[in-house]
Amino acid sequence: MVVGIVTTLDILKAIQEGGGGGGKKLNSILAKDIMTSSPSVVKTDTPIEKLIDIIIEQEIVLVPVVDDNNRIVGVVIRLDIIREKLSEGFITIGKREDYQELEKVFYNTIIYYYDLAFEIIS
């Protein structure tokens, strides 16, 4: 069961709330204090259209994916949906190589904060 989720926005807000310009140090932040409790989750067979509805209605960036035992098995981010829905023919921003590099940077950033969130929980 997913009891909560910590996003990059949650972490940034927690750091900023420290006040006095110093903010909070990451090693003093507890996930339970900044997480979104009982987040929306989807099953592995949830249609993309339903994912899009959840993301738009709740104005969120990612949705945890759970198995039949309600254990987290992954996360779907907006970029995953865009990648799935759009063919390469629709990518018009810069060169294809530039897009691939941007995608790597974005993906690595998401993975970094995803890992960081689990470190905070531990």
Could you report the per-residue pLDDT of 97-118, keeping only the tens digit for each? 555 665 666 666 666 656 655 5
Q: How far apart are the first and last CA of the chain?
A: 16
Domain that holds residue 27: 4-121
Q: Number of structural domains, the chain?
A: 1
Query: Residue 91: which CATH number?
Result: 3.10.580.10
Give tens-digit pLDDT for 6-49.
888 888 888 777 654 555 666 777 888 888 888 999 999 999 88
Instruction: Note whether 11 and 117 are within 8 A (CB).
Output: yes
pTM for this one? 0.62
